[in-house]
Amino acid sequence: MRPKFTQRKIRLVGPVQLATAMALLPNLPLDQANPLELVIREEVKARKPDQNALYWAGPLKDISDQCWIGGKQYTSEVWADYFKRLFLPDEYDAELCKDETYIKWSYGPDGEPVLVGSSTDLTIKGFAQYLEQIHAFGANLGVQFHEAPQRG
């Protein structure tokens, strides 16, 4: 039984990275009972930092400023956590999640679920879908969304 193989990711951007990948291949363990998988694909683009800034300055701010539930208002941080629980993908989806290791929930020592997924785990497309869901949620509560300030 071989030890667990640690996942490696090599971005092929130049000859040094290509040489690293070529040197790795002949040294990979061959194991019929527990084979490794080799995947070569276009790099998955994670959400952009500007998307994150617009998220906090736009829909989260509008919802936290305008929504009253049960006579209470909630902070942007509370809404962000709530939306992750509600709208992050439950399972890995190659179009929505930037990495195959994505998980939404883990479990604490008491066996209770713990949210470990993050919107930073989403691709550009995944984050756009996430924002659509948040806008629809807010619109159903009567939120008037404002255009987020543009960053210079």
Residue where the block lists tokens 């002949």: 26
In-domain check, residue 96: yes
Q: Which domain holds residue 136?
A: 49-140
- pLDDT tens sequence across 109-128: 999 999 999 998 999 899 99
What is the pLDDT at residue 8?
A: 82
pLDDT in tens, 66-116: 999 999 999 999 999 999 999 999 999 989 998 888 999 999 999 999 999
CA contacts within 13 A on the Cβ side of 111: 0
Tell me whether residue 113 is in a domain.
Answer: yes
- Structural domain includes residue 54: yes
* Position 121 in a domain: yes
Strands of the chain, DSSP E? 105-107, 113-115
Residue 146 CA to residue 152 CA, distance in Å, equals: 18
**In the predicted model, what is the mean pLDDT of the chain?**
89
Total domains in the fold of the chain: 1
Q: How far is CA 130 from the centre of its chain?
A: 10
Residue 149 lies in a domain: no
Residue 42, classed as helix, strand or coil, is: coil
pTM assigned to the model: 0.69
| pLDDT above 70: residue 139 | yes
* pLDDT per position as a tens digit, 7-52: 788 888 999 999 999 999 999 999 888 888 888 877 766 667 777 8
CATH number for position 63:
1.10.3790.10
Other beta carbons within 10 angstroms of residue 23's beta carbon come to: 9
101 belongs to a structural domain: yes
The verdict on residue 87 lying in a domain is yes
With respect to residue 40, please indicate whether it lies within any of the assigned structural domains.
Answer: no
Contact 47, 123 (CB under 8 A): yes
- How confident is the model over 48-64, as pLDDT tens digits? 777 788 889 999 999 99
Q: Is the Cα dihedral 30, 32, 35, 41 positive or negative?
A: positive
